[in-house]
Amino acid sequence: MVSQSEFDDDDRSSCGSDSFSVDTNVALSEMLGLPYSYFLDGLSSSHPDDDDGGPDRHRDDDDYDYDHDHDHERCESISPSLFDGVEAIGEGVRALEMTTLSPPPRPPPTGPSSPRVSFLDVPRRCSRYRHHPSDVTAFVVHDLFDAEECRSIIRLASSSSSSSSSSSGIVPSSGFGYVTEAAHADDDGNVHVVKLADGANHHKLSVFEHGPTVDALWTKLGRSVLPHIESFVRHVQSGPPLGLNPRLRVLRYDANDDDVFDPHFDATTRVTVGKREEEMEEYDENDDEDDVPVRGKTTLSSLLTVLIYLNDGGGVDFDGGETHFIDHDYGDSASSRHRHYRGVGGGTDATSTRITPERGKVVVFEHDLYHMSGPLIFGTKYVLRTDVLFNVKSTDGVGRRRRRRRRRRLGGSSLPENDDELANTTTTTTTTTTPTTPRTLIDACRWLSLAVEDVRVLDEIGLLDSTLDNLLAPGVHAIREVLRDVVDGRTAEGLIQAALESRRDDVGRNIII
Ligand SMILES: O=C(O)CCC(=O)C(=O)O
Ligand SMILES: [Fe+2]
């Protein structure tokens, strides 16, 4: 089931030309379905316009705003055909051309030509961090790209030389192919290539960089996506979205080969970009002393996945192959997969929210939602996968403080007009969703703002669902031992204190330890 919200577009577009380089880890576990990261080295490029200063960015304490005029001027030189240059792919795919990292425009005012947006109601346990479905960011933008744009991307992917990736040996040397190896970068930056288990990733992939395409995609996506991720941006304190992953991935699924994408979470990709001098000064002022980035460079992290369907499902070019958002405790064993697959056909049921691919349709969602692509009945599915990049100090924030999406707070109808209204709305929400005294361990995790890793590990050892009362059942000393094994001492004590508090409230007196 989806709830609908229309918004309107304007003709403002963003383009830009920050110097750009990728020289660090790009996690590929999302496309491999495995916790490996893919390390790219030595890719760098600069754009001829690097020295022109690019668009200015002004950042206030609690909000952000941009000077669009500069962007707007620059964009006027862009050809009306967004994908000009894509045809020249033979010589056009370079190790790394450049990508747009200028901020997208502010949300547009209402107007008649806006793409339609549907918000997704994901299953209750779809979020890795157990965020309530109304707290997560997941939506569909309809008809954002036209037939020619989609065809151009398929052509680009089919003829891609993938030269930039050949050193890792994990992508096909040309066009689409199965990924059979993954590279994992350890803490010292050493790369280890491992063979994937058979069938770990049963779909074809073409990975490539192509600056003009990334720019064109971001021009459209930035302005369509931005109005719908404001609350996400505030929750995770990520600052504004800064661009797309320069590395494009087109996935191809053939019915004849039984191609699928098994259930998985997407992983964060890290991309190092060059910074202009004036932006660095901003960093120097605001950052903690021990957290000042290397001069001239900063690392952006992807937090949101973007899928762009490049051809039509629903029995047109192919049938089946829907994207499913699923409960993550449904497991990923063959038997549970079959349970999901049985339901293929569109719509939503108790454990799956299904999206039928349509050419030009875009799905945007936070990385931490469990999802998969089901089997095809006939034909070939093409989908482009990219990510929205942010400048976050730590991706921990993604799993922490959450506020309910404001449209839900307000009964799904009217939206607050300004930030003050949003602030009021979210304050109310925080009060209702986070009890003053936590009752369950997951409440306590929120209450204590535990890091994502801590929550994950508590989940892994099966404690997350326990009530605080049950937590203490084996006795405080015993549970302290267990907790200290998996989280640091302070966190363990925090959780124990929360449990003691909860018990104190229940019985109206202190318990004896
Ligand atoms: O093909 C799809 O529908 C899903 C693709 C996906 O999950 C991914 O690329 O990470
Ligand atoms: Fe994915």
Closest atom, ligand 1, to C-alpha of 381? 1
- Is it the case that residue 452 has pLDDT exceeding 60? yes
- Nearest-CA residue for atom 4 of ligand 1: 373
The minimum-distance atom of ligand 1 relative to the CA of 249 is 9
- The number of the ligand 1 atom at minimal distance from the alpha carbon of 385 is 9
Q: What is the pLDDT of residue 235?
A: 82
Q: Give the CA diameter of the chain.
A: 76
- Concatenating the DSSP letter of every residue in 210-266 gives -HHHHHHHHHHHHHHHGGGSHHHHHHHT--S--EE-SEEEEEEEEGGGT--EEEE--
Residue carrying the six token digits 């202009």: 276
Residue 92 confidence (pLDDT): 25
- Which atom of ligand 1 lies nearest, measured to the CA of 322? 3
User: 489 falls in which pLDDT band (50, 70, 90)?
Assistant: confident
- Give the CA count within 13 Å in the CB-facing half-sphere of 5: 18
In terms of phi and psi (left: phi > 0; alpha: psi -120 to 50; beta: otherwise), the region of 462 is left
Distance 107 CA to ligand 1 centre (A): 27
What backbone torsions phi and psi does residue 336 show, to the nearest 5 degrees? Answer: -70, -30
Closest ligand (CA of 31)? 1
Spacing, Cα 404 to ligand 1 middle (Å): 26
**In sequence order, what are the beta bridge partners of 318?**
379
Q: Give the pLDDT score at 192.
A: 67
**178 has a pLDDT exceeding 50:** yes
State the average pLDDT over residues 224-229: 90
pLDDT tier, 148 (very low <50, low <70, confident <90, very high otherwise): very high
In this prediction, residue 325 carries a pLDDT of 95
> How much distance in Å is there from the Cα of 96 to the middle of ligand 2?
24
Average pLDDT over residues 75-98: 27
| Contact by Cβ (8 Å): 372, 326 | yes
Model confidence at 238: pLDDT above 70:
yes
DSSP codes, 342-403: HT-SSEEETTEEEE---TT-EEEEETTB-EEEPPEEEEEEEEEEEEEEE--S-GGGGGS---
Q: What does DSSP assign to residue 37?
A: E
Query: 372: CA distance to ligand 2 center in Å?
Result: 7
Residue nearest to atom 9 of ligand 1 (CA): 385
Looking only at the bridges linking them, the beta strands covering 297-309 and 376-390 are antiparallel
pLDDT of 159? 86
Mean pLDDT on 317-337: 75
Average pLDDT, stretch 284-298? 50
Which of 28, 31, 308, 376 most suits a substitution to test ligand 1, by most atoms within 8 Å of the C-beta? Answer: 31
Q: How many CB atoms lie within 10 A of CB 510?
A: 10
By most ligand atoms within 8 Å of CB, the mutation choice from 30, 176, 202, 251 for ligand 1 is 251
Q: Higher model confidence: residue 478 or residue 25? A: 478
Q: How far is CA 357 from the centre of its chain?
A: 19
Span from the CA of 35 to the centroid of ligand 1 (angstroms): 16
Q: Could you give the CA distance from residue 322 to residue 373 in angstroms, rounded to a whole number? A: 6
pLDDT digits 0-9 by tens, 348-363:
455 789 999 999 999 9
Range from 23-37, 400-414, 438-452 that averages highest in pLDDT: 438-452
Ligand number, closest to the Cα atom of 249: 1
Mean pLDDT (the chain, rounded): 64
- Is the pLDDT at 217 greater than 90? The verdict is yes
More confident residue, 61 or 376: 376
How far does residue 368's CA lie from ligand 2's centre (Å)?
9
Question: Looking at ligand 1, which atom is closest to the CA of residue 305?
Answer: 10
- pLDDT recorded at residue 319: 97
* Residue 317 CA: distances (Å) to CA of 251, 359, 472, 489: 15, 10, 57, 56
**Dist. CA 33 → ligand 2 center (Å):** 8
Name 172's Cβ contacts closer than 8 Å, sequence gap at least 6: 162, 178, 179, 204, 205, 206
CB 31 near ligand 1, within 6 Å: yes
Look up residue 296 and give its two tokens.
């001239």
Q: Say yes or no to pLDDT of 398 above 60.
A: no
Q: Which of these, 460, 228, 453, lies nearest to 329 by C-alpha position?
A: 460
Residue type present at position 218: W
Query: pLDDT band at 204, cuts 50/70/90?
Result: very high
The protein residue whose alpha carbon is closest to atom 3 in ligand 1 is 323
Predicted pLDDT of residue 87: 27
Nearest residue (CA) to ligand 1, atom 1: 373
pLDDT band at residue 478 using 50, 70 and 90 as cut-offs: confident
Map residue 467 onto helix, strand or coil.
Answer: strand
Q: Cβ atoms within 10 A of the Cβ of 85, count? A: 19
What's the rounded Cα separation, in Å, for the pair 212 and 99?
A: 7
Least confident stretch, 97-101, 152-156, 258-262, 416-420? 416-420
pLDDT band at 35 (very low <50, low <70, confident <90, very high): very low
What atom of ligand 1 comes closest to residue 264's alpha carbon?
Answer: 7
26-30, 221-225, 380-384, range with greatest mean pLDDT = 380-384
Measured torsion, CA atoms of residues 84, 90, 92, 93, in degrees rounded to the nearest 10: 120
Q: Is the CB of 266 under 6 A from ligand 1?
A: yes
> pLDDT at position 200, please?
60
Q: Tell me which ligand sits closest to the C-alpha of residue 383.
A: 1
Residue 304 has pLDDT above 50, yes or no: yes
**Among 94-108, 181-195, 199-213, 270-284, whose mean pLDDT is lowest?**
94-108
Identify the pLDDT of residue 162.
44
Characterise 229 by phi-psi region: left (phi > 0), alpha (psi -120 to 50), beta (else): alpha
Q: Which two tokens stand for residue 308?
A: 């762009």
32 lines ligand 1 (CB under 6 A): no
Query: Which of 206, 364, 372 for a ligand 1 pocket mutation test, highest count of atoms within 8 Å of Cβ?
Result: 372
* SS3 call for 471: helix
Q: Is 167 left (phi over 0), alpha (psi -120 to 50) or beta?
A: alpha
Kindly report the three-state secondary structure assignment for every residue of 189-205. Answer: CCEEEEECCCCCCCCEE
User: Hey, how many other C-beta atoms are within 10 angstroms of the C-beta on 142?
Assistant: 13
Comparison of pLDDT for 466 and 141, the residue scoring more: 141
Q: Copy the structure tokens of residue 130.
A: 């157990």
Q: Report the C-alpha gap between 233 and 243 in whole angstroms.
A: 14
